């Protein structure tokens, strides 16, 4: 395996102008004919043509009409080279592939008897020989031929030009994409599917045809995806002035898919998980996921497709920006300040749960990585979520209007081009007359910066000095870091809980955005009439760890009064984290467990505060996860962390029993189910109350859960009740699981939930997981199913996965190896669950290392998995 470096980028030797693809589709033997016109790239110094190709059989190759023989070209591993080519070339290439044998779900593959493609990042090269790199953009015409009975629907990018019969039971469809695109955006579908369709009036008066394609039997689950698509189109018109540029936009759902969805031009292909929903089968979280992912893929049409990446190191150019756009879309769809804050809190949770650990582990990389072995390993929370934070910080620095100006300039300069993260930053800087040079370090330096804060109040001078300093821990290949440009949004609370008006120069209003650019800087607030409680990093203004020696009293003050809901929530998390890590430490050392009334009282106050949005109250009462607690511990003891968290949950359930019960009843949502944010928030708070009640030692909570399970008319309530029963180890849990399976055995996405609830159960050990793998519904080849059981156990049940006897690690090694033979992309995601092995107690470390070495020692291993395990062991 070879490391590829960003600095080695060279322009392509040839550009492709047009591509005509012909597919004779057959699961065992598909013939692909590719005719492309190419022209020497004036910017390149290399003489010949280089085409990528993998896992395909070359049948014939013609150049400018002449059949080439073996001596005219060379195939070196995965590259086909034709030396000394003329400036203008027409290549005709015929290849063979066997889609039914393709279990990688990259390239052309078969799922449930239908054909689909997945070309990002480098799947197109297993369809035909091609310069498969994003800076080669061409116009595609695609002819599909297939059996009409088996594959009545033939789809590709762009517009349908012609369709008809071929006479032998086969039919054809000819598609033309009017826009130039890189090969990773190519797609085809040949399938037995049905669709919900609608004509939708665009802002410029044109009508676009919108379609959502699914398997027969799922047409009762497409409304929400269609509604989300229409909302996305409208939102992009209004917020960014960006219109749909096609007459037709299609979403197709497929049950076998490596990721969430794919933004192929005009033909988005989605994991069924992010399309199919009705109240019977989908939870509130599923609905929110569909809205976000439909939005995300649609927004890529401009940020990713019209302007794409020069090379894969620039992945965050499209992904970070598009995540930021989908986050803003979801927040705007809720519409209220409080709803917006709840979405922001969710984003912060994801960062802390997944991105901060990645940034502190062996796979840490900058938002714009410098090198990789396998690009598929870099579709990460760093590139996506931290990338979105970086874009958000730019908006914080230039303001919302300034950000829009920057976006306009970006499209004015780069529409139709393949560009870099620097080009995006330059557009933002130039449109706003801002210097964003130092800001570049957010793209080039890995690691989570730590911002230390010290406040000093001078009662006589009525000033408050806030000294901020920054540091960033070393990450692989980067020992010393230079200071970042960090926006720190700050407010000062008085003793009455109100925001003080900040009186100094640019620091007017209730919140000031301080720009920390040095290693250490002091910011002075004047006219401060009393000692304030500082509320820092409001709205999580930067993806950093903020260290400030808050007292409990200060945190309680912020938890009760901060006008910034994100920091109000944050104060509660700090209060909880202090107790959870103390308790976990005590448990690890055989100490005594107790929980103070102060904490319980603070939780009570929020719980019963009817002026607060239920969704916010749910967030404020939710404890940090076991993974987040682990990140705060010096040495990780997963069993102690689990027991500590369970102890606090049981205390809350017992001490707040009356309030939790009354909030449970006050937040019922009778009547027809609706996934809107207010109803979902009420259900969220009610179901959190239920989970605390069920965690308490008495039987009342369990009885309530059983009643909710029996009477539920929607999946959110049904799953919440079942999880409460399972987590409480209730006697009724096995029967409820049995009934759940019987009721939903024909709904694949619900059976995924059935597996994952059991995988995360407190009593599920490796033996139990192995037994579940023997269930007739389990199938390791289906990524959703593998994630629902194997991943949910290895990543979502730390106390059992990290069993002292090392059985979890041996299981992990076995599954990584088994999956690698089927689907390296999925295997390598599972491999990542051992990233943080060096932080565990020595006895666990030893077994973790052994398991990693066992995988690393295999001769036959994909680049994907090898990169992950060798970096973990390095």
Segment near ligand HT7 (CB under 6 A); pick from 65-73, 255-263, 396-404, 807-815: 255-263
Question: Please, which of residues 822-851 interact with ligand HT7 by CB under 6 A?
Answer: 825
Q: Determine the Cα–Cα distance for residues 822 and 107; give it in Å rounded to an integer.
A: 14
Closest to Zn ion by CB, 319 vs 717, is 319
In the complex, least distance from residue 784 CB atom to Zn ion, rounded to whole angstroms? 19
138 binds, among Zn ion, ligand HT7, none (CB under 5 to 8 A by kind): none
Q: Which token pair is 668?
A: 């019922």
Shortest Cβ 571–Zn ion spacing (Å) = 33
The reply on whether position 128 binds ligand HT7 by CB under 6 A is: no
CA pair distance 421, 406, nearest whole angstrom: 13
> Is position 118 an interface residue for ligand HT7 (rule: CB under 6 A)?
yes
Q: Which is nearer to ligand HT7, 296 or 836 (CB)?
A: 296
Cβ distance to Zn ion smaller for residue 290 or 397: 290
Q: How far is the CB of 270 from ligand HT7 (least distance, A)?
A: 10
> Is residue 378 a contact point for ligand HT7 (CB under 6 A)?
no
Q: Return d(Cα 634, Cα 639) in angstroms, integer.
A: 15
Give 120 or 132: the residue with its C-beta nearer to ligand HT7: 120
Contacting residue, 56, 108, 110, 121, with ligand HT7 by CB under 6 A:
121
Catalytic residue among 92, 297, 328, 389: 297
Among 26, 236, 263, 864, binds ligand HT7 (CB under 6 A): 263
Look up tokens 């049995």; give the residue.
738
Beta strand spans in 590-728 (E): none
Which of the stretches 257-265, 392-400, 420-428, 537-545 binds ligand HT7 when contact is defined by CB under 6 A?
257-265
Site for ligand HT7 in 406-425 (CB under 6 A): none
Q: Is 297 among the catalytic positions?
A: yes
Identify which of residues 296 and 579 has a Cβ nearer to ligand HT7 in the complex: 296
Can you read off the two tokens belonging to residue 802? 């990290």
- Tell me how far, at minimum, the Cβ of 419 lies from ligand HT7, in Å: 17
Task: Pick the closer one to ligand HT7 by CB: 114 or 825.
Answer: 825
Residues 758-797 that bind ligand HT7 (CB under 6 A): none
Size of the site for Zn ion (CB under 5 A): 2
Smallest gap, in angstroms, from Cβ of residue 106 to ligand HT7?
A: 6
Judged by CB under 6 A, how many residues of this single chain contact ligand HT7?
15
Q: How far is the CB of 252 from ligand HT7 (least distance, A)?
A: 13
- Angstrom distance (rounded) from CA 119 to CA 109: 11
Alpha carbons 760 and 754: distance in angstroms, whole number: 10
Residue 238 makes CB contacts below 8 A (sequence gap 6+) with: none
Question: Quick count: other Cβ atoms within 10 Å of Cβ 825?
Answer: 22
Stretch that binds ligand HT7, among 94-102, 254-262, 598-606, 698-706 (CB under 6 A): 254-262
Q: Which residue has the tokens 């007292």?
A: 551
Q: Where are the alpha helices (DSSP H) in 450-564?
A: 552-561
Q: Shortest Cβ distance from residue 293 to Zn ion (Å)?
A: 9
Dihedral pair phi/psi, residue 713, rounded to 5° = -115, 15
Q: Could you tell me the sign of the dihedral formed by the alpha carbons of 575, 577, 580, 582, in that order?
A: negative
CA distances, 489 to each of 526, 750, 779 (Å): 17, 42, 48
Q: What does 669 bind: ligand HT7, Zn ion, none (CB cut-off 5 to 8 Å by kind)?
A: none
d(CA 543, CA 488): 10
How far is residue 368 from each of residues 318, 392, 497, measured CA to CA in Å? 11, 16, 41
Where does this chain touch ligand HT7 (CB under 6 A) — which range of 34-42, 292-300, 690-698, 806-814?
A: 292-300
Q: How far is CA 805 from CA 144, 720, 765, 798, 857, in A?
A: 55, 32, 11, 14, 22
For the bound state, the minimum distance from the C-beta of residue 471 to ligand HT7, rounded and expressed in Å, comes to: 32
Q: Is 120 in the site for ligand HT7 (CB under 6 A)?
A: yes
Residue of closest CB approach to ligand HT7:
259
Q: Which does 258 bind (CB under 5 to 8 A by kind): Zn ion, ligand HT7, none?
A: ligand HT7
Residue 864 C-beta: closest distance to ligand HT7, Å: 10
Binding characters for ligand HT7, 208-227, by CB under 6 A (x = yes):
--------------------
Query: For ligand HT7, which residue of 172, 175, 249, 379 counts as binding (CB under 6 A)?
Result: 379
Contact between 564 and ligand HT7 by CB under 6 A: the answer reads: no
Q: Is residue 119 involved in binding ligand HT7 (CB under 6 A)?
A: no
Query: Nearest approach, Cβ of 389 to Zn ion (angstroms)?
Result: 15
Q: Which stretch binds ligand HT7 (CB under 6 A): 144-152, 294-302, 461-469, 671-679?
A: 294-302
Residue placing its CB nearer to Zn ion in the complex, 322 or 639 = 322
Instruction: Using the structure block, give the residue that is written with the tokens 């080009």.
Output: 423
- Quote the CA–CA distance of 392 and 527 in Å, as a whole number: 31
DSSP 8-state assignment for residue 258 = S
Contacts of 494 (CB under 8 A, 6+ apart): 500, 529, 530, 532
- Per CB under 5 A, contacts with Zn ion among 315-334 are 319, 322
Give min distance, CB of 318 to ligand HT7, in A.
7
Q: Which is nearer to ligand HT7, 279 or 387 (CB)?
A: 387
Calculate the alpha carbon distances from 518 to 89, 136, 315, 366 in Å. 54, 41, 29, 20
Residue 262 interacting partner from ligand HT7, Zn ion, none (CB closer than 5 to 8 Å by kind): ligand HT7
DSSP 624: P
| Among residues 262, 391, 431, 466, the one that binds ligand HT7 under rule CB under 6 A | 262
**Segment lying near ligand HT7 (by CB under 6 A), choices 229-237, 258-266, 328-336, 524-532:** 258-266
Residues 283-322 that bind Zn ion (CB under 5 A): 319, 322
Q: Quick one: which of 301, 287, 289 has its CA closest to 248?
A: 301
For residues 486 and 610, what is the distance between their CA atoms, to the nearest angstrom? 36
Question: Buried b / exposed e across 533-558, counting CB within 10 Å, b at 16+?
Answer: bbbbbbbbbbbbebebebeeebbbbb
Beta bridge partners of 788: none
- Which one among 40, 296, 802, 836 touches ligand HT7, defined by CB under 6 A? 296
Q: Does 319 bind ligand HT7 (CB under 6 A)?
A: yes
For 156, the 3-state DSSP assignment is strand
Helix pair 677-695, 657-666: axis angle to 10 deg: 150
258 binds ligand HT7 (CB under 6 A): yes
Nearer residue to Zn ion within complex by CB, 195 or 267: 267
Q: Distance (Å, rounded) from C-alpha 337 to C-alpha 324?
A: 18
User: Measured between alpha carbons, how far is 672 from 7 in angstroms, rounded to an integer?
Assistant: 57
Dist CA 420 CA 778 (whole Å): 43
Q: Measure the CA–CA gap between 232 and 226, rounded to whole angstroms.
A: 10
Nearer to ligand HT7, 319 or 717 (CB): 319
| Count of Cβ atoms closer than 10 Å to residue 197 Cβ | 15
For tokens 């809205």, the residue is 291
User: Which of ligand HT7, Zn ion, none interacts with 121 (beta carbon under 5 to 8 A by kind)?
Assistant: ligand HT7
Please report which residue ranges of 760-841 form alpha helices under DSSP H: 766-773, 783-786, 792-796, 798-801, 807-822, 824-831
Q: Which two tokens stand for residue 274?
A: 């992010």
Query: Does 376 contact ligand HT7 by CB under 6 A?
Result: yes
User: How wide is the angle at C-alpha 138 spanned by C-alphas 133 and 144, nearest 5°?
Assistant: 100
Q: Which is nearer to ligand HT7, 419 or 630 (CB)?
A: 419
Selected binder of ligand HT7 within 138, 190, 259, 317 (CB under 6 A)? 259
User: Which chain residues interact with ligand HT7 by CB under 6 A?
Assistant: 118, 120-121, 258-259, 261-263, 296-297, 300, 319, 376, 379, 825
Give the residue numbers annotated as catalytic, written as ranges: 297
Residues that bind Zn ion (CB under 5 A): 319, 322
């Amino acid at each position: 395996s070879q490391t590829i470096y960003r600095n080695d980028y060279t322009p392509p030797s040839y550009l492709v102008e047009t591509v005509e693809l012909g597919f004779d589709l057959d699961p065992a033997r598909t013939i692909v004919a590719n005719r492309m016109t190419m022209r020497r790239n004036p910017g390149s110094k290399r003489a010949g043509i280089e085409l990528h190709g993998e896992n395909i059989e070359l049948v014939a190759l013609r150049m400018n009409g002449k059949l080439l023989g073996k001596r005219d070209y060379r195939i070196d591993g995965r590259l086909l080279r034709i030396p000394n080519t003329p400036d203008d070339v027409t290549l005709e290439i015929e290849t063979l592939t066997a889609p039914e044998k393709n279990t990688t779900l990259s390239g052309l593959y078969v799922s449930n008897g239908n054909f689909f493609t997945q070309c990002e990042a480098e799947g197109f090269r297993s369809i035909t020989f091609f310069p498969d790199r994003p800076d080669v953009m061409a116009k595609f015409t695609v002819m599909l031929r297939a059996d009409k009975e088996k594959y009545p629907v033939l789809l590709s990018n762009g517009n349908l030009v012609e369709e008809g019969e071929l006479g032998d039971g086969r039919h054809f469809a000819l598609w033309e994409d009017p826009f130039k695109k890189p090969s990773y955006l190519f797609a085809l579908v040949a399938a037995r599917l049905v669709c919900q369709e609608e004509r939708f009036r665009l802002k410029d008066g044109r009508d676009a045809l919108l379609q959502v394609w699914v398997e027969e039997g799922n047409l009762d689950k497409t409304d929400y995806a269609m509604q989300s698509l229409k909302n996305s189109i409208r939102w992009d018109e209004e917020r960014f002035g960006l219109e749909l540029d096609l007459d037709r936009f299609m979403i197709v759902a497929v049950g076998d898919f490596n990721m969430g969805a794919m933004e192929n031009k005009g033909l988005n292909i989605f994991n069924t998980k992010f399309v199919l929903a009705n109240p019977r089968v989908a939870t509130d979280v599923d609905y929110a996921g569909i809205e976000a992912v439909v939005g995300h893929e649609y927004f890529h049409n401009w940020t990713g497709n019209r302007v794409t990446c020069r090379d894969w190191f620039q992945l965050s150019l499209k992904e970070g920006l598009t995540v930021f756009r989908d986050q803003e879309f979801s927040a705007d769809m809720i519409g209220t300040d409080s709803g917006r804050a709840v979405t922001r809190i969710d984003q912060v949770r994801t960062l802390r749960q997944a991105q901060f650990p990645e940034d502190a582990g062996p796979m840490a990389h900058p938002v714009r990585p410098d090198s990789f072995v396998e690009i598929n390993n870099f579709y990460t929370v760093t590139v996506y979520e931290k990338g979105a934070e970086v874009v958000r910080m730019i908006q914080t620095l230039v303001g919302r209007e300034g950000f829009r100006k920057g976006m306009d300039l970006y499209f004015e300069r780069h529409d139709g081009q393949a560009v870099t993260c620097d080009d995006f930053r330059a557009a933002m800087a130039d449109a706003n007359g801002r210097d964003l040079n130092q800001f570049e370090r957010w793209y080039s330096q890995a690691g989570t910066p730590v911002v230390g804060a010290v406040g000093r109040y001078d009662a006589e001078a009525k000033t408050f000095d806030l000294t901020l300093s920054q540091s960033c821990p070393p990450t692989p290949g980067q020992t010393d870091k230079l200071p970042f440009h960090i926006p720190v949004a700050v407010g000062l609370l008085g003793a009455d809980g109100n925001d003080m008006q900040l009186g100094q120069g640019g620091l007017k209003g209730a919140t000031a955005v301080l720009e920390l650019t040095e290693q250490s800087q002091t910011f002075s607030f004047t006219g401060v009439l009393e000692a304030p409680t500082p509320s820092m990093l409001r709205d999580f203004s930067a993806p950093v760890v903020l260290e400030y020696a808050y007292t409990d009293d200060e945190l309680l003050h912020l938890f009760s009064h901060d006008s910034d809901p994100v920091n109000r929530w944050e104060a509660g998390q700090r209060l909880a984290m202090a107790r959870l890590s103390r308790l976990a430490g005590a448990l690890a050392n055989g100490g005594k467990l107790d929980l103070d009334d102060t904490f319980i009282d603070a939780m009570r106050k929020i719980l019963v505060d009817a002026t607060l949005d239920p969704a916010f109250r749910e967030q404020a009462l939710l404890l940090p996860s076991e993974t987040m607690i682990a990140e705060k511990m010096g040495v990780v003891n997963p069993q102690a962390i689990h027991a500590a968290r369970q102890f606090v949950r049981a205390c809350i359930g017992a001490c707040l029993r009356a309030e939790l019960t009354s909030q449970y009843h006050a937040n019922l949502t009778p009547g027809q189910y609706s996934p809107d944010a207010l109803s979902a928030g009420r259900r969220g708070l009610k179901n959190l109350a239920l989970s605390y009640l069920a965690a308490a030692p008495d039987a009342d909570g369990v009885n309530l859960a059983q009643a909710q399970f029996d009477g539920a008319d929607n999946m959110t309530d049904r799953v919440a009740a079942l999880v409460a029963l399972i987590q409480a180890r209730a006697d009724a849990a096995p029967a409820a699981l049995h009934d759940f399976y019987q009721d939903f055995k024909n709904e694949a996405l619900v059976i995924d939930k059935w597996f994952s609830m059991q995988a995360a159960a407190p009593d599920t050990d490796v033996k139990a997981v192995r037994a579940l793998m023997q269930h007739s519904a389990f199938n390791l080849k289906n990524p959703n199913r593998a994630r629902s059981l194997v991943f949910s156990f290895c990543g979502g049940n730390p106390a059992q996965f990290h069993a002292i006897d090392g059985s979890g690690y041996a299981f992990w090694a076995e599954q990584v190896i088994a999956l690698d033979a089927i689907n390296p992309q999925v295997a390598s995601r599972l491999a990542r669950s051992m990233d943080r092995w060096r932080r565990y107690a020595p006895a666990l470390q030893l077994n973790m290392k052994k398991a990693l070495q066992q995988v690393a020692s295999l001769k036959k291993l994909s680049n994907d998995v090898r990169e992950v395990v060798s970096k973990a062991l390095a």
